[in-house]
A and B are shown apart, each in its own frame.
Chain A
Amino acid sequence: MLTVKDLQQKGNMKVLCPDVLPDREITGCYCGDLLSWVMSRASEGDAWLTVMGNINAVGVAVLADCACIVLTENAAFDDNALQRAKENGVAVLQTEKNSFETAVLVSELLKG
């Protein structure tokens, strides 16, 4: 089983929210930046890799029930988004790797 915490530790990612990561399981992965597209296609339990760090991205993660948001290429996460993520208990990680490299990592970790 891969948890959000495992991904953060094995990917050496920065935790933006919350302070203590949940043991929520990651069951898949989705990459995308167009919010409606992502909302329609991402699955529950996905690690969502994106460069879109605004308040609406948090809304999409909540509605699509993603396990976490991973901001790739150190994409910024604005203050409004952080506030909304805290309110909704959305885990947000940040990595310097791009979405392709991060997706490969998630894939490998999911395979165990």
Chain B
Amino acid sequence: MIDLESASDANLVVAIARWHEPAMAEVYRRHGGAVYALAMKVLLNENAAEEITQEVFLDLWQHPEKFDSQRGSLRSFLLARTHGKSVDLIRSEESRKQRETKTTRETATAGYDIEHQVWDMAVAEKVKKCVDDLPEEMRKPIKLAYFGGHTYREVAEMLDTPEGTIKSRIRIGLSKLRVNLVESGLEPAGAGL
């Protein structure tokens, strides 16, 4: 038997490639909450967020080879796919209308690993501080692009700032945020330059 709880994410993906459903369940248990939360933040629609979450995990089941543990963590891989799919959805005309009807939901707590939850919340607190420490001129375009699902051209228009400036501020802002995260004890993975 695989010791699922102690297996690394990379181990679990190898097992998923061999149709090991319990490994898939463990990956969902570890990252399903973050995936769903991101989809909710971007889509502001419960049904759409559930659909995207389902799609992201089914994609992993069908194409585990797309995850490369040398290039980054499984969580960032899943979140990147979640974000991409969510943004595609909100950029469609139909869902823009749906998005206007914002919904929220209470999340159940049963079954979630309390240690993971506490850890995630502690990390979220630190991340919030790191984001708050960014200069507003960088924080705003990052939030509008990431959580608002806007293109940088739209962000430039919204902030009445040249497109080139927005591109640079987002890029520099992300690098600066990385430094803030490292300094606060959080170590983002990702291939070194």
Report whether chain A binds chain B. no
B residues apposed to A, CB below 8 Å: none
